[in-house]
Structure 1
């Protein structure tokens, strides 16, 4: 028999994963979010409720008060003295340093003392009542030892540091002091106190520095005074013990020494001349030589014949020359003695002068240093009490009207965002976990088998009501879908339309029986003789759809030869169907369907009816359907919409392939038409197969 069927690859491919696709269709994503709007809305509502509970019951409103101080780099000096502590220049390093001073533990310790924050439970957690969570944790951890007063104070200061933020406003000398507290008035009070103590601290630092400098200068001036007095005493003692020493007297001695040296040089020259003269006189022998050597006019006037007078005069000249030479020698000796004495005196006075000058310079240096420190001491002492701070309060803190945290808008916005994201994540997770089928396109892509029809969900509370609906609503979307299924099935093989049609499914409750009854009713309505066979010998549900059927011989009785086919078949006048119900049998159903009797039964049924529709048990439960399918012309496999999973479908189709009898087509049953529109990827999905008829009607 020729079958019209989409080729199937070996093995069943699973639904395409995100990694198998190169891009994500935004329309598909939007459709998925649209389908899960209830989940997203529920997550959003839950998040907003949680945020509301947090804001109203758990969150503690906290207020921020801000005070500002400004550095005064151009200060007016009361007196024009150089301060002991330099003012602030205002460069980046100093601005950052002042920020740290404002946040320093030393300054905040004083704030804790001034405001007695140790007694405030907000800053001293040991005073606060423990929460239920803390009580529970205290049972699990060892008890803490009692804290010392210093530890409590340090913990309070740490809490204040955590509540404080100090920043330098950009491009300015202004510092903002922001304090966070549960009490707005307390926050403003703490901010103002920090600013005031910061200003006071600057004055105290300068005052302490001035006091320290004054004390040191006083001590240093006393020491310098003693050193000056000692130096001046040494000068005075030296002047007392030494002769009068001055530069003038020393200059006079040097002039006197020069005069002596000049006289000594002259006398030595005269002595040398007299020695030469005396030598010439002594060497002269004759009268002429003596006259020439003596060069004396008186000697030249003596007559040559007056020898006695000549000799007397020559002797007198020799004696006079010797006397003059001796006198010159005496003068030279005296002058040399005076020169030596005067040189010694000048040398001694020069050394004394140098020592005196050294002592005088030392005394003068001590005097200058003493006077400098004394003046600095007076300036520093004059600065006591007139110190100015390098900063001033620009604006005091204002008590805030509204809490800074929690920010209700931000919390609610964040909660809404978290709720939406969580809802989207839940929807995405649900979509990823769900391997059921929602469109014919998905079903065909996953099974590689033709989807011949899509049967909508029948809103019937009982099985007889469903039969009434099929009979009384021939123009309903459901019956239009059944007619499309019949058309697809009959046209699957135009040359030999199927007469024995078998319906089955993977598991119970997937719409195979409803599909069999609807198809049988539709065929009967078209004037065909139809035999509806209940091929499930274990569960007898066909009678629930047809309450008027008598419980008696059925399919098992016919196959066992107990009754003839005509005797077992019952007729339903309203639907025009012939029905062969299932009955109890001691024989195994699989053995009965595998026997030649079953094939003979079908041949006999073909001779009496145009179509034989067999409703078989689920494939994954019992093997009956696979055995009965061997003698059927067509096998319709029911797949419940959004319920039958990929794994169940793959396993059921594989089991048919193991007996070399693939199914003819799939039927998507119990389709929720309203929801299916949300799962459709495009408009073609809405017109796919038989959905167009009842989809348009809806």
Structure 2
């Protein structure tokens, strides 16, 4: 709040400077805080108990809530449909935010909406009252929002385990929702993959259809070109190549047969020239020759036997010789026939070789022509093979995605379903009590602080000196705060007379002592004023005058508040000529004075205000009055009007020796007091100090931190 305390003025006394310098104790703030709490203790207690009861009533009467928690392992594997050389389902992601992504999926409206539909929460008693009159999809939307607000997804540390907690009045509902959130998460993941598969299937299907058309066109072109150029093949070779290979094999066989026939013929001829028919190897293979040779061998053996026994002209020998000759002739004839056969065979083989060579040459020419066409055929074939390979790869990818993407993801699973909660988690009574105590303390403290911050009243002597920059002279007690038994009927102005040794009278004597300046002689004039009416200045003026008179001083009490005439009213004085008439010069001072029998002081009442009262407090009039009083009185006390509102009071106060400013304790706002001082100082009026009136001494002892009279009870033996 604004600090309306006034800064020290050049007219301030050294004493006030010392007062300001003494403030700086670091513990002062703490002591002031404690004092404020003591001051406002009942307000603080009421606020504390009120907030405490409200919080406890609200917290402890709330519906019991049960929390169920399910735990699951999550992963962040995504369906790979773009990289053809990678697996469709890659390994788990190692990124730091991978699990965070899955946690956000668990918190997504899609998961919550699936749970609402699966458990039919829109008709559940825990949800239905809050959905109001919403219908259809609006009810589901509202229920989804309520569910999202109550779900808590927690991830302990950096693990891949998340906890799904849900709180509800029904423990069965809490368990069902916690488990269903996990199931819906898996369903959303599966649905996401199915959608990806369907999207990929549509894209790959379109691409496969295009490739199929291109592949069929390429295969047709290959077939047409092959048919056009007769480039049919079998087992990787064209028919021409296969024919050429066969013809070359036949040519080789013919050449081998020719070589064999020529070898046999050459051998047979050579043997025939050297040794006759018996040495021909080819002839020996003839069965006829073999039979003839066997017969000749027998005939030769018989001839040799006969030749050893008979003479050359023996008939048996001649017959045996003729038989040998016949056999040799037969063998020679057969040998000649065999040589002719070998010669014919060699010629046949030679003709076959020539024929095979011609066929091979012709086929080779045809193959050379086919090779030129095969180059173009190979290009067409490679194009068709490329389309075929791409088609087969995309078809295999589509099949792989369709199969793997729908396989259950075993590393994303609920490994710990929620247990049925048997004990309510809310309201937490110990926690509510602690919160209630803490909140009540905070609210009570804050309330006291706010009230104190907005309270502009001056309570202690330290407040007065700090805020106003004036010395605090005394605390004049509220009579009720120091009354003893039997004193209830005594008025404040009579109390110092009835109890001259009381604390009330002692404070008045302290004020009188402050007015008696060291080294001053003669009469002292004092003006007593206040910021507002009913501050207790008139009571103070009367009581101070009586105490001073009882102490032996010659005292004149002047009722200078001519508009209200408070002194005359409080003392019960009759209507009498007074200050107004004296200042006008119509009555002499001696004639206007009234003697106070109780104390011996003289009272100058206000008098009759009939007529114009302006300029009564002019310098000439007041000087004349003081001149008349100087020889008769030691102390003249003016009960002036409130200085903030009445200009006559300020005019009067400029002409007196000292000014006392009266503030009602714990009542006068400091900004009002500050405004009064501002107007006084504008006229070079510097009050001697401040007197606090109607001070509750018991309350001051309880919370008046920084007040000089806080411990007045310790001196009770000095007051009677």
**TMscore range, shorter length:** 0.5 to 0.7
Aligned partners of 1:586, 1:10: CA distance in 2, in Å? 39
Deviations 1:412-433 (A, max 9, x none): 6556555555554444444444
The aligned counterpart of 1:346 is 364
Q: The residue matched to 2:538 in structure 1 has which SS?
A: helix
Find the aligned partners of 1:247 and 1:615 in 2 and give their Cα distance.
Answer: 152
User: Are positions 1:501 and 2:526 aligned together?
Assistant: yes
Deviation at 1:529, TM superposition (A): 3.0
Corresponding residue SS for 2:71? strand
What is the CA–CA distance in structure 2 between the aligned matches of 1:210 and 1:633, rounded to whole Å?
105
**SS of structure 1 residue aligned to 2:606:** coil
Task: Work out whether 1:538 is the aligned partner of 2:563.
Answer: yes
Aligned to 2:314: none
Verify: 1:63 aligned to 2:66, yes or no.
Answer: yes
Tell me how far apart the structure 2 counterparts of residues 639 and 341 of structure 1 sit (CA, whole Å).
147
Q: Which runs of 5+ in 2 are unaligned?
A: 1-6, 77-86, 257-351
Cα pair distance change 1:11/1:386, threshold 3 Å: closer
Cα distance in structure 2, aligned partners of 1:594 and 1:448: 29
1:115 aligned residue: 119
Deviations 1:504-557 (A, max 9, x none): 22321222212212221221221223232222222233244434x444343334
Q: Which residue number corresponds to residue 601 of structure 2?
A: 577
Q: 569-578 or 466-475, which moves further after superposition?
A: 569-578
For the structure 1 residues 410 and 425, does the alpha-carbon distance in structure 2 shift closer, same or farther, using more than 3 Å as the test?
A: same
The correspondence of residues 514-525 of structure 1 with structure 2, limited to 5 A, is 514-525=539-550
Question: What is residue 475 of structure 1 aligned with on the other side?
Answer: 501
Q: Does 1:528 align with 2:544?
A: no
How is 1:139-538 mapped onto 2 (pairs within 5 angstroms)? 149-196=136-183, 238=233, 242=239, 245=242, 249=246, 252=249, 342-348=360-366, 389-404=410-425, 417=438, 420-459=441-480, 465-490=491-516, 492-496=517-521, 498-538=523-563
Quickly say closer, same or farther: Cα 1:152–1:554, change in 2 above 3 A: closer
CA distance in 1, matches of 2:552, 2:489: 24
1:188 deviation in Å? 0.7
| Equivalence for 2:259 | none
Aligned to 2:282: none
TM-score, normalised by the number of residues in structure 2: 0.62
Check conservation: 1:501, 1:613, Cα contact below 8 A.
Answer: yes
CA–CA distance in structure 1, aligned partners of residues 197 and 681 of structure 2 = 105
- Is the partner of 1:608 in helix, strand or coil? coil
The residue correspondences of 1:634-645 to structure 2 (distance < 5 A) are 634-645=658-669
* Greater alpha carbon shift after TM alignment, 117-126 vs 575-584: 117-126
8 Å CA contact 1:477, 1:694 repeated in 2 = no
SS at match of 1:466: coil
Structure 1 residues 248 and 554, CA, compared in 2 at 3 Å: closer, same or farther? same
Instruction: Verify the 8 A CA contact 1:464 1:545 in the aligned structure 2.
Output: no
> Deviations along 1:94-119, whole A, 9 cap, x unmatched?
64565455455555554333322232
Q: Per the alignment, do residues 402 and 528 of structure 1 end up closer, same or farther by CA in structure 2, a change over 3 Å counting? A: same
Structure 1 649/9 Cα, relative in aligned 2: closer, same or farther at 3 Å? farther
CA distance in 1, matches of 2:714, 2:359: 149
| Counterpart contact for 1:35–1:678, Cα < 8 Å | no
Q: Is 1:671 aligned to 2:674, yes or no?
A: no
CA distance in structure 2 between the partners assigned to 1:564 and 1:258 by the alignment: 184
**1:614 counterpart = 2:614:** no
SS in 1 for 2:636: strand
Contact 2:243 2:363 in 1 (8 A): no
* 1:245–1:352 CA contact under 8 A, matched in 2: no
Deviations 1:325-378 (A, max 9, x none): xxxxxxxxx999997763442354588799799899999999999999999999
SS in 2 for 1:669: strand
TM-score normalised according to structure 1 size? 0.63
1:480, distance to aligned residue in structure 2 (A): 1.7
Structure 1 residues 23 and 472: alpha-carbon distance in aligned structure 2, compared to 1, 3 A threshold: closer
Matches of 2:636 and 2:198, distance apart in 1: 120
C-alpha separation in 1, matches of 2:532 and 2:161? 79
Asked if structure 1 preserves the Cα contact closer than 8 Å seen for 2:568 and 2:605, the reply is yes
Question: Pairwise CA RMSD of aligned residues?
Answer: 5.8
